[in-house]
Amino acid sequence: MIEWAVNILAVGGAFFVFVAGLGVLRMPDIYLRIHAATKASSLGIGLLLIALILMDPTAPVIVKSVLMIFFVFLTAPVAAHMIGRAAYLHHTQGWAGTKKDELKDKYAADHTKLDS
């Protein structure tokens, strides 16, 4: 029973990491690529760590795995935000279907300070 759960969670985690790779390759611009890469890959890592907890439910493994799940869910958005901010400050254009850019004209001329 536990083995089934471990296998299903492992396949699910690997599948979501694969979806992240697919999104990074196939999405049309940098912002959508960040969106695909960050969320799908942190979910995949989380599923793999839950599979690890189910496989070996001893105290050190549980503590480290839960800590790593929190760490990944905390740091992946921070890294994605910083890369997206760097891309936006370089005036990287979105793809042709972009509907909304709420930060447009909000940055000062030297485009390092936000004057909202």
**Chain residues that interact with another protein, rule: CB under 8 A:** 3, 6-7, 10-11, 13-15, 17-18, 20-22, 24-25, 30, 33-34, 37, 41-42, 44-45, 48-49, 51-52, 55-56, 58, 60-61, 64-65, 67-68, 71-72, 75-76, 78-80, 82-87, 89-90, 92, 111-112
CA distances from 64 to 31, 78, 79, 84 (A): 32, 21, 21, 30
**Which one, 65 or 104, has the nearer CB to another protein?**
65
End-to-end Cα spacing for the chain: 55
Cβ at position 67, least distance to another protein in Å: 8
Q: 77: which 2 tokens?
A: 């958005």
Are residues 12 and 54 in contact, defined by beta-carbon separation less than 8 angstroms? no
SS3 92: coil
Cβ at position 102, least distance to another protein in Å: 19
